[in-house]
Amino acid sequence: MRASAIVLGFACAIGAQSAFAACPGAEDIGRFVEDWQAKRVTKALPVSDLKDAVCARDKLVEALGGSLGKVVGYKAGLTAKATQERFNATAPVAGVLLETMILKDGASVPATFGARPVWEGDMLLVVKDEGINRAKTPEEALRHISACGPSSSCRT
């Protein structure tokens, strides 16, 4: 199974910097959910710290649970240093996966699946040479990988 590109994580909430620290209210959550369901670009939720972002995430999960199903897993986000810097984060964050976000291998996803469709390489491998094409086992394939990770940070 593969996780779809839509994840309820901190990334949707961390982008906004606010002068106050409070969990977003029902009006903000409702607007965000309405825009998300309509696949419209939306305004970031008003959070200013990690505590607010966790609260916002939990409210979004609750609001979308009826249409997207129960929590079935979690996802690490902002795992690459460059992405952390972009969102002014100092460490990876946790996202939540709901039932309908998990797609079977080979599933088709329309190009219009979101307001601004993007993909994220959760695990990237850099192939060192063509020997990988002759590998018979995962161990043999590993000999032909030069780097792995969200930012090609782990070396083999």
Residues of the chain above pLDDT 90, percent: 47
pLDDT at 30 over 60: yes
Q: Is the pLDDT of residue 8 over 70?
A: no
Residue at 125: amino acid letter: L
Hunting for tokens 């969102």 — which residue is that?
Answer: 87
Q: Are the CB atoms for 78 and 92 separated by under 8 Å? A: yes
Report the pLDDT averaged over residues 89-97. 89
* The pLDDT of residue 77 is above 90: no
Q: What's the CA gap between 28 and 118, in Å, rounded?
A: 24
Residue labelled with tokens 């970031």: 44
Q: Map out the domains of the chain as residue ranges.
A: 1-103, 123-156
What pLDDT is recorded for position 117? 78
Q: Which two tokens stand for residue 71?
A: 């929590």
Share the mean pLDDT of the chain.
82
CA–CA dist 156, 153 (Å, integer): 10
C-alpha–C-alpha distance, residues 21 and 39, integer Å? 28
Strands (E), the chain: 2-3, 71-77, 93-98, 102-103, 124-127, 145-149, 154-155
